[in-house]
Structure 1
Amino acid sequence: MPRPVWSGAISFGLVTIPIKVLPATENHSISFHQYHLEDMSRVRTRKVCEIDGKQLTSAEIGKGYEVSKDTIVAVTDAELDEMPLPTAKAIEIAAFVPYESVDPIRIGEGYYLQADGQVAAKPYTLLRKALERNSKAAVAKFAWHGRERLGLLRVQSGVILLHAMKWDDEVRDPQQLAPKAVDVSDEEIDRAVLLIDSMTADGIAGQDWATDRYTEALEQLINSKAGGKKPPKPDEEEAPAGGQVLDLMAALQESVSKAQAARGESGGSGDSGGSGKNATVHEMPKKRAAKKTTAKKSAAKKSTAKKTAAGRKTAPKKRGA
């Protein structure tokens, strides 16, 4: 079990719930050190005083704010802890909101809240069951790492979770990034919805695609080089045809067929019109070729009909002679 990163209490009206905050996630990424390429010696970052050039330890380093070029105000950790701030040692619930109303872009790191002691067990359970019953999430304020933060409390698997959130002014306005207005037909939207339905899963956990393939490939690379072997080569994949303009509807339908095939479903119901035919990217040129062949056949039939008619006209003359 990970060590607590913070301890305090949840302020729920006049109810106080002592809690411990534990990390809810783990980082399995592979980290690298910096080395000198010439002799592979370690390159380290050292904290050195600008005046005497002495390398400093963590105990010799403190916090300070530069008011002006020649004036620095030193601030100690004890002064930060003693600030007259209600959220300095408490997660103060400000309101309750529907969980669906929270924009996911505002939600940050997640933490588990553990009841601290037997005294906290009953109010902790009370808050958890109240949140479960009305399907609400609690918006709270708390102070960590030298700043006051906005938080979101929700329930998962019988445990209260705390998510750090962004303030309103920390979320950029995305309107300037939206593309210009374009015309999209209802048929294209229906086909895109069909593709979404074909790729819909019950959840993220346990899926074949929910794996970190980059870390796995990186581990294989390190193990191969450590054993004196050559790094594994990537699998050759068919490159997409460059410069080819595809029909959007045909591309959507081909994606639907592939998604249905991956799920073991038949592709006969892929056409939204109910015809049962699966369009492909190469179907449109074939149809044009068929039209040309039909036109040639019809022309040949006309010429044959003319010759037959001419032959019928000359036949009576021979009989008369």
Structure 2
Amino acid sequence: MPPPTIVKLHITFGLVSVPVDVHPATARHSVPLHLVHTRCGSRVRLHRFCEAEGIEIPREEIARGYEADGRTVILTDADLADLPLPSMKNIEVLAFVPADRIDPLLLDRAYYLSVDGPVAARPYVLLRDAMRETGQVAIARAVIRTRENLAVLRPRGEIIAMQTMLWPDELRPADGLEPPAHEPRPQELEMADLLMEQLTRGFHLEQQEDAYQRALERVVEAKLTGAEPPHAPEAPTAPIGAVDLMAELERSVAAAKARETSPAEPPLKEARAKKSPPSAP
């Protein structure tokens, strides 16, 4: 089943307009934690109160407000959906740039764009294939969920994917965070290259899984049985200057080679399946 449509927009580049449906491309892992009272373990609920009247407000009586000239202007959902902004209904392409021009730190949420009707297929495919053949991506403006964003459009397989971006001035400068000047020795660089190569062997990004849930389940199980819960491994405490960097690199390469020849741990899903008791008939 394809992901749900969250909004219908038009990709506009020049005078070409492509009606598309926007679908969320990702689904974050949810952790089943909730707020409780530490004394009794009861659920804690958050309530919305009016500061002036001191009463709880139902959701249908809540709107957004904007402070202007000492007064509060109440904005309805209809007001926010009809702002006089070109990008309210359109994914407005501003320019095409090489893909490597995009700073990964600016990238935010990801979406899939699908054609909205058969007539849109021809210009959609044209845009997709033009970006693929030139190696360029489209920089656009788009409003998603009451916020205007910069966005980058790129081909992904047979579809066009869109990823919203932070505005350039939202990226904090890294001034003052640079390490002290240091020139690595040639043999250290060579050993670091060897370590990088060794760690990369047999690595498949698509096989990586979130182990947080399994670790949380281990702690919960220990607390239910009154046992001491497992703890996070200790972080190394020795400062870099106190060790022989070359020796550490050599030991790291040896450890990576040893892991490569040792039996692999079962995948996370398989481990969960083995742990779960069989369901009753």
TM-score by length of 1: 0.73
1:75 positional shift: 2.1
Q: Name the CA distance, whole Å, in 2 between partners of 1:151 and 1:132.
A: 17
Whether 1:259 aligns to 2:260 is no
**Which one has the largest radius of gyration?**
1
- The alpha carbon displacement at 1:189 in A equals 1.6
Name the structure, 1 or 2, with higher relative contact order (CA <8 Å, separation 6+). 2
Offset of residue 203 of structure 1:
4.4
The match for 1:30 is 31
Secondary structure in structure 2 of the residue aligned to 1:3: coil
Deviation track 1:41-83 (CA, whole Å, cap 9, x = no partner) reads: 2211111112222221222111111124x41122222223222
SS of match in other structure, 2:87: coil
Q: Secondary structure at the match of 2:43?
A: coil
Write the distance in 2 (CA, Å) between the matches of 1:119 and 1:143. Answer: 24
- Pair 116,219 (structure 1): closer, same or farther in 2 beyond 3 Å: farther
Task: Could you tell me which runs of 5 or more consecutive residues in structure 1 were left unpaired when the two chains were aligned.
Answer: 266-321
Equivalent residue pairs, number: 259
Following TM superposition, by how much is the alpha carbon of 1:242 offset from its aligned partner in structure 2, in angstroms? 5.9
- Equivalent-residue separation in structure 2 for 1:169 and 1:241 (angstroms): 36
Q: CA deviation at 1:139?
A: 0.7
Alpha-carbon distance in 2 for matches of 1:133, 1:20: 24
CA contact (8 A) 2:219 2:229 kept: no
Percent identity over the alignment is 38
On the 8 A contact 2:153/2:161 being kept in 1, the answer is yes
Over residues 275-313 of structure 1, what are the superposed CA-to-partner deviations in whole Å (9 max), with x where a residue is unaligned? xxxxxxxxxxxxxxxxxxxxxxxxxxxxxxxxxxxxxxx
**RMSD over aligned Cα atoms:** 2.6
Please give the secondary structure, in 2, of the residue aligned with 1:39: coil
237 and 107 in structure 1: CA distance in 2 versus 1, 3 angstrom threshold? closer
- For structure 2, the residue ranges without an aligned partner over 5 or more in a row are 263-281
SS in 2 for 1:261: helix
Match of 1:195 in 2: 195
- Residue 319 (structure 1) aligns with: none
Structure 1 residues 235 and 64, CA gap change in structure 2 (3 angstroms): closer
Q: 1:150-181 deviations in whole A, cap 9, x for unaligned?
A: 00011112121110111110111113211121
One-letter identity of the residue aligned with 2:64: K
Q: Look up the SS of the partner of 1:42 in the other structure.
A: coil
Structure 2 Cα separation of the partners of residues 9 and 97 of structure 1: 20
Deviations 1:213-262 (A, max 9, x none): 2211213444566xx53568549979969689321111111111222232
Residues 59 and 92 (structure 1), Cα distance of their counterparts in 2 relative to 1, 3 Å cut: same
In 2: Cα distance, 1:128 partner to 1:67 partner: 44
